[in-house]
Structure 1
């Protein structure tokens, strides 16, 4: 059977259909949010980051995975010394595979939640033994994330676009009812701390690999199919180590291509606004002004892409 939607929920509920005592995830790239969610499962999980062997790992993602490894008891995170781009989700019982999904979906929020862009397919019984041998070969050539020295961690400044995204409006002040003050408009269906970070056309032109164009996906309403622009889910790792799920939402044309217009937190729009207010010392529910940001020490956030759908947000002073 082939699956193209709701892949994250598929993976986290598949064990309910099979008597299993172990999940093994082999993924070319990882995002911290699904890895941390493995704590929910009632058995042990193993996660293997496949492309470490050729690309290494960025410090912020490595630190985030180390924190998860230290906090989740039923989880072991490995980095493959062999460059592996495979995506395999394997459920085992007493060391034998009883169910498996393979395909194109990385174990990240972006890889598992974008409808129709990635696929996972069930494997047949005759593939279980060679697949088990393949997984064992990769594990035998992997190291624990706890064994990785900083000399193996790739500097984030190497081959990384670092975009400074201003938190000020075009008039040089924080907008009254948009941006960090999105929720301050009483006429919007928002809460006071709702916030977003605007994506300017200059960001897209200057950093074309940073934000992907928006894709069209079919939406079923009353049995009739129509197309809508899909809001990509992303993972955000802040400079202080906090992780947050985000959304690339809204639409704007840039040279004939439709791109996202803003970044918000997801599923709670206020999470971003509360986080920024706490960092700069503004009471929750109160508007943010330019002088608050200047007192804190900066009026922008440095944004970089450190993996598929995984971003680092640097708001350090």
Structure 2
């Protein structure tokens, strides 16, 4: 079992620690048996061979596409294409297994035998972006919020899900000039860089996890991986690339990349806030559908 959030978190950790460049190859073993959710599948698609940094040259994701399913958790490190170190045990490739207080046990094992096992599993797998992937594995429609939009009425929770409403304006009722949606509007910065400011009252609620990456499904069918950062947990960002969030909002507002965002732009679109609803500990829904501007909340 694995999640794209864990993959994103792990790659960000490598980047921040400035490790030597590596390639990451992941095989998800239960996709032809238990299946995989649409959000997880889309998350792997967005990462597959598209993410590169000084620490991660490439990331590829394969799914086991026939029986028997693979329920083993095996981690192998190679150097110059030769297996150097391997562990086997209970830890899935998930944030719950690696960065929470859950107990797991992993044991060293023979690197060569582990790599042989991996290669056999690889021969029964296919890339997650295979043209016929829908016929090879089970992809489950697992959108508790998207499948039941009655849970959100006018962007406000009716009690069946936890949600928060966050203004995109400052306390003075404007879009900040060099922070928030305009974070990158400074010299030598990507002008699309952006974050969503988390009010201190919401930060104190622990509504968003502060120790992991999480997936956000949007009302227009997109998907973002976000994390909480900055002092006092005041910002929601796209950790793999800070400009992705700014590009998303500029696209929704009908603005060109790099455009300076104003309150007039938001009001012309029909909304000055966003609503987040929690589906589970690693999955959220974000509503930015147009409505009558409601001002600051």
TM-score interval for Structure 1 and Structure 2 normalised by the shorter chain: 0.5 to 0.7
Distance of 1:267 and 1:75 partners within structure 2? 17
Distance 1:267 1:297, change over 3 A: same
CA offsets, 1:28-69, max 9 Å, x none? 6553966xx9xx979x9631359x96xx97654455568889
Q: Contact 1:174/1:288 (CA < 8 Å) preserved in 2?
A: yes
Look up the SS of the partner of 2:260 in the other structure: coil
State the match for 1:271 in structure 2.
244
Kindly indicate whether the alpha-carbon contact (under 8 Å) linking 1:111 and 1:309 is maintained by their aligned counterparts in 2: no
Q: Does the C-alpha gap of structure 1 residues 196 and 32 become closer, same or farther in structure 2, counting only changes over 3 Å?
A: same
* Cα distance change, pair 283–46 in 1 and its aligned pair in 2 (3 A): closer
Partner of 1:294: 267
Deviations 1:140-191 (A, max 9, x none): xxxx9836889x64442387533333212223322222211222356xx744
* Separation (CA, whole Å) in 1 of partners of 2:71 and 2:279: 16
Q: Secondary structure at the match of 1:274?
A: helix
| Map of 1:47 onto structure 2 | 28
Give TM-score scaled by structure 2 length. Answer: 0.54
Is residue 174–residue 180 contact of structure 1 (8 Å, CA) maintained in 2?
yes
Distance in 2 (alpha carbons) for counterparts of 1:49 and 1:163: 34
Deviates more, 1:277-286 or 1:153-162: 153-162
> What residue is the counterpart of 1:283 in the other structure?
256
Separation in structure 2 between the aligned mates of residue 310 and residue 272 of structure 1, nearest angstrom: 17
Query: Are 2:36 and 2:138, in contact at CA under 8 Å, matched by a contact in 1?
Result: no
Residue number in structure 2 paired with 1:212: 209
Residue 146 (structure 1) aligns with:
134
Equivalent residue for 1:202? 201
Query: Once the two structures are superposed, what CA deviation does each residue of 1:210-244 show, in whole Å capped at 9, x if it has no partner?
Result: 32346xxxxxxxxxxxxxxxxx5444444445444
Partner residue, 1:176: 177
Q: 1:250 aligns with which of 230, 242, 245?
A: 230
Shift in CA distance, 284/62, structure 1 to aligned 2, threshold 3 Å: closer
CA distance in 1, matches of 2:234, 2:210: 10
Alpha-carbon distance in structure 2 between the residues aligned to 1:90 and 1:171: 53
Question: Structure 1 residues 45 and 245 mapped into 2: Cα distance closer, same or farther (>3 Å)?
Answer: closer
Who is 1:14 aligned against? none
State whether residues 305 and 312 of structure 1, in contact with CA within 8 Å, keep that contact through their aligned partners in structure 2: yes
Matched, 1:315 2:266: no
Residue 151 (structure 2) aligns with: none
Report the counterpart of residue 164 of structure 1 in structure 2: 165
The DSSP-based 3-state class of the residue aligned with 1:184 is coil
Give the aligned length: 242
Distance 1:65 1:245, change over 3 A: closer
Deviation at 1:292, TM superposition (A): 1.2
* Higher helix content, 1 or 2: 1
Once the two structures are superposed, residues 91-140 of structure 1 have per-residue CA deviations (whole angstroms, 9 ceiling, x without a partner) of 9xxxxx997434676535x57996999988553249x79xx7xx99xx9x
